[in-house]
C-alpha cells in the first residue's frame, strides 16, 4: 500500500474520541464558584482557567485554544454572549456553555443562535454542571476529529484529482500510442498482404506477355487510371517497349511519346535505385536532359525494377496534375517493383535467356495500328 492509499484509509477510518484532559475557560461568575468549579474539574484531570470578564476572556482565547468555554451572561464589562458570537466565527469547534440567571426566552434563543451547545441555570448543582461540561467536551472533541477528518479528506481528494488527471493523461497517451501502433501494424499487414497477392499472381505467369499484362493490371489497381509504360532492356544499353496502357493520350501521338520516353528516360533509370517523381514537366526535362514538353501539365513517376544489381525493367507512370498520385503510392511501388523484377528474372532463367532478346516493339511494326488493342499494348506479345 503506497502513501496515498494509507492516507485514504486513515481518512475513512473511524477514530475513537480522545478522552484525555480538556482545556476549559471559565468567564464570569463569583470567585467562589470559579474556585470550586476549577477544583472539581481538576479532580477529573481537566485544565481550567478562570477570568472575570469579556476582555480578559478574549485575551485568554488569543493566547491559546480551548476545548470549551463556560460563559456567565452577566459579567462586569458586558454580556458573555459577545464572546460566544466571537467564538462562533473564529473557533466553531470550541463548544460554549452559557450559565444563566433566569434570562428570558428571547435571550435563550439568542444564545442558541450564537452557537451555544448548552444553557445551564446558575442554581444547577456543581456535580451536574461538571457532568454537562464533560458531555460538551465529548461533543467538542468529536467535532474536532470530524473537522480533522474532513481536512484530511479534502487533501486526499485533491491528491486523487491530481492522480486522476495524471492517469488520464497517461491513458490518453497510451491510447494514442495504441492507435499509432495499430495503424502501423495494419499498414504493415496490408503491405504484406499486397506483396503476397502480387507475388502469387506473378508466379503463375511464365510467359513474358502474360507477366507484363498481369503486372500492369495489378499496378493500375494501386495507381488508379493512369498512363503507364514498361520498358525492357534489349541488347547493349538499348531499351524497348514491353507493354503500355494509354489512359488519356491521343492515339495519334502515343507512338512518338512512348519512343521519346524510351530514349530519354530509360538510360537515366538504368542505375537509378530511387523512385523519381516530378510535378513539373520542366524539372523532368532538366533531369532527363531532353525536351519534356510532350508531358506538359503532367505528373511523372519513373522507377527501375532491379534484381541482383541488374535493371530488369523501367516503368513510367504519368497523368494530369489534376489527378495527382496518392502519397502512399511510393511505398506500394517500392514493394511491387522488387517482386516484378524478381519474376522477370525468373522468366528469363526459365527460357534460358542469359541475354534477354525481347520481341519487336509494336510501335516500330509498320503493320501495327494504334487501335488494334484498345490502348492496352503489350509489345507485340498480346495473344
CATH of the domain at 343: 3.30.450.40
Do the Cβ atoms of 53 and 78 come closer than 8 Å?
yes
pLDDT at 173: 92
pLDDT at 176: 92
Is there a single domain that holds both residue 116 and residue 263? no
- Alpha-carbon gap, residue 95 to 84, rounded angstroms: 9
Where does a domain end: 103, 134, 158? Answer: 158
Q: Is residue 352 part of a domain?
A: yes
- Alpha-carbon gap, residue 59 to 61, rounded angstroms: 5
Is there a single domain that holds both residue 209 and residue 151? no
Where does a domain end: 94, 126, 158? Answer: 158
Is there a single domain that holds both residue 221 and residue 154? no
Q: Is residue 171 part of a domain?
A: no
CATH number at residue 72: 3.40.50.2300
Is there a single domain that holds both residue 240 and residue 134? no
Burial (Cβ within 10 Å: 0-12, 13-18, ≥19) of residue 382: middle
- Alpha-carbon gap, residue 214 to 192, rounded angstroms: 19
Is there a single domain that holds both residue 86 and residue 149? yes
Do the Cβ atoms of 179 and 317 come closer than 8 Å?
no
Q: Is residue 226 part of a domain?
A: yes
pLDDT at 293: 63
Q: Is residue 335 part of a domain?
A: yes
Using a cut of 0.85, tell me whether the model's pTM lies above it.
Answer: no
Where does a domain end: 100, 130, 158? Answer: 158
End-to-end CA distance of the chain: 79
Segments of the chain scoring below 50 in pLDDT: 1, 17, 353-356, 358, 361-383
pLDDT at 18: 52
Q: How many domains are there within the chain?
A: 2
Q: Is residue 64 part of a domain?
A: yes
- Pairing assessment for the beta strands 239-245 and 298-307 based on DSSP bridges: unpaired
Q: Is residue 44 part of a domain?
A: yes
Is there a single domain that holds both residue 142 and residue 262? no
Its domain, for residue 229, covers 204-377
pLDDT at 333: 92
pLDDT at 369: 39
Q: Is residue 234 part of a domain?
A: yes
pLDDT at 363: 46
Cell of 376: 492496352
Is there a single domain that holds both residue 142 and residue 267? no
pLDDT at 322: 85
Is there a single domain that holds both residue 150 and residue 9? yes
Is there a single domain that holds both residue 123 and residue 220? no
pLDDT at 13: 61
Is there a single domain that holds both residue 134 and residue 224? no
Of the candidates 265, 256, 241, the one whose C-alpha atom is nearest the C-alpha of residue 362 is 241
pLDDT at 10: 62
Is there a single domain that holds both residue 63 and residue 153? yes
- Alpha-carbon gap, residue 323 to 102, rounded angstroms: 102
- Alpha-carbon gap, residue 75 to 336, rounded angstroms: 103
Q: Is residue 190 part of a domain?
A: no
Amino acid at each position: 500500500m503506497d502513501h496515498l492509499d494509507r492516507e485514504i484509509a486513515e481518512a475513512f477510518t473511524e477514530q475513537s474520541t480522545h478522552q484525555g484532559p480538556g482545556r476549559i475557560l471559565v468567564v464570569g461568575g463569583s470567585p467562589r464558584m470559579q474556585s470550586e468549579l476549577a477544583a472539581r474539574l481538576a479532580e477529573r484531570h481537566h485544565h481550567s482557567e478562570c477570568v472575570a470578564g469579556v476582555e480578559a476572556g478574549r485575551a485568554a482565547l488569543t493566547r491559546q485554544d480551548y476545548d470549551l468555554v463556560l460563559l456567565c451572561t452577566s459579567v462586569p464589562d458586558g454580556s458573555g454572549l459577545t464572546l460566544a458570537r466571537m467564538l462562533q466565527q473564529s473557533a466553531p469547534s470550541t463548544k460554549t456553555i452559557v450559565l444563566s440567571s433566569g434570562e428570558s426566552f428571547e435571550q435563550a434563543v439568542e444564545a442558541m443562535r450564537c452557537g451555544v451547545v448548552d444553557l445551564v441555570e446558575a442554581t444547577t448543582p456543581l456535580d451536574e454542571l461538571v457532568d454537562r461540561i464533560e458531555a460538551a467536551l465529548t461533543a467538542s472533541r468529536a467535532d474536532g476529529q470530524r473537522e480533522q477528518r474532513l481536512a484530511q479528506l479534502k487533501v486526499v481528494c485533491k491528491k486523487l484529482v491530481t492522480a486522476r488527471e495524471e492517469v488520464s493523461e497517461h491513458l490518453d497517451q497510451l491510447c494514442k500510442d495504441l492507435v499509432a501502433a495499430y495503424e502501423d501494424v495494419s499498414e504493415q499487414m496490408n503491405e504484406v498482404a499486397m506483396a503476397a497477392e502480387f507475388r502469387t499472381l506473378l508466379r503463375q505467369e511464365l510467359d513474358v506477355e502474360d507477366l507484363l499484362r498481369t503486372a500492369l493490371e495489378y499496378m493500375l489497381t494501386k495507381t488508379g487510371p493512369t498512363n503507364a509504360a514498361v520498358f525492357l532492356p534489349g541488347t547493349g544499353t538499348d531499351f524497348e517497349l514491353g507493354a503500355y496502357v494509354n489512359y488519356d493520350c491521343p492515339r495519334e501521338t502515343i507512338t512518338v511519346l512512348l519512343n521519346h520516353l524510351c530514349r530519354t528516360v530509360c538510360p537515366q533509370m538504368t542505375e537509378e535505385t530511387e523512385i523519381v517523381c516530378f510535378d513539373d514537366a520542366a524539372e523532368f526535362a532538366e533531369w532527363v536532359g531532353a525536351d519534356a514538353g510532350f508531358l506538359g501539365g503532367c505528373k511523372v513517376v519513373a522507377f527501375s525494377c532491379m534484381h541482383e544489381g541488374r535493371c530488369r525493367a523501367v516503368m513510367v507512370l504519368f497523368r494530369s496534375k489534376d489527378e495527382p498520385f496518392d502519397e502512399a503510392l511510393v511505398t506500394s511501388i517500392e514493394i511491387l517493383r522488387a517482386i516484378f523484377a524478381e519474376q522477370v528474372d525468373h522468366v528469363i532463367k526459365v527460357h534460358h535467356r542469359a541475354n534477354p532478346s525481347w520481341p519487336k516493339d509494336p510501335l516500330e511494326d509498320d503493320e501495327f495500328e494504334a487501335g488494334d488493342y484498345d490502348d492496352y499494348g503489350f509489345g507485340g506479345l498480346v495473344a
